[in-house]
Amino acid sequence: MKLKEAIDKRRSVRSFQEKKVPRKIIKELVKNAVKAPNAGNRQPWIFYCVDNKKKRDEISELLLTQFKRLWKQTRAKSKRSQKISNNFYTNLGGAKNLIFVYRKKVENEPKYIQPNDMISIACALENLMLCAVEEGLGTCWIGTFKGPKTEKKLGEILKVKKNEELIGSLVIGYPKKDNFPFNKKMKSLKDILRFI
């Protein structure tokens, strides 16, 4: 698949088939993710890839609780988007796999390190999401995991180390045929592009 085709095809998927993603494929995706540019070549990432049913169910429950807590703020605008969101948050849209990326904090790190590490991890996850398209997989980044209570509980479920901080969370799986992404209106280039 050509890169541009993968970029065009990648949309956030919120409805998945009941099929697990094989670990071999997850490994390949992570291998490509970590080829991303990253600040100071610190490679600050730790990938927690969940495919265990019990853990997956605990995390799904945790996300639903967080969704309900934030519902008023995060409520999607249209009825259609609300329906997609409700299905997604009720049971991860049926997905069996999750990927969480933590960053390793360093003691007494200068202030610029944290934002740079976040950007590095976002670069890695974009690589991963584009390679996933090539494998016939769909992904959706879930920012809803962010928040002190949820992050604490998630850290316990995943048994993360003390010096690790959650940056990115993805759900990944084989899209259902009836998966329709949110309507997406793009801003026009004239509003976002300034040649100097």
| CA distances, 152 to each of 63, 103, 143, 147 (Å) | 12, 15, 15, 8
Among 91, 141, 147, 176, binds ligand FMN (CB under 6 A): 141
Among 159, 184, 190, 194, binds ligand FMN (CB under 6 A): 184
CA distance linking residue 45 with residue 33, whole number of Å: 10
Using CB under 6 A as the binding criterion, the count of chain residues that bind ligand FMN stands at 12
CA distance linking residue 5 with residue 12, whole number of Å: 15
CA distance linking residue 129 with residue 169, whole number of Å: 12
Comparing CB distances to ligand FMN, the nearer of 105 and 182 is: 182
Residue nearest to ligand FMN (CB): 143
| CA distances, 24 to each of 13, 133, 168 (Å) | 21, 16, 21
Q: What mask, x for binding ligand FMN by CB under 6 A, covers residues 71 to 110?
A: -----------------x----------------------
Among 137, 140, 170, 172, binds ligand FMN (CB under 6 A): 140
Q: Which stretches of the chain bind ligand FMN, using CB under 6 A?
A: 11-12, 14, 88, 140-144, 181-182, 184
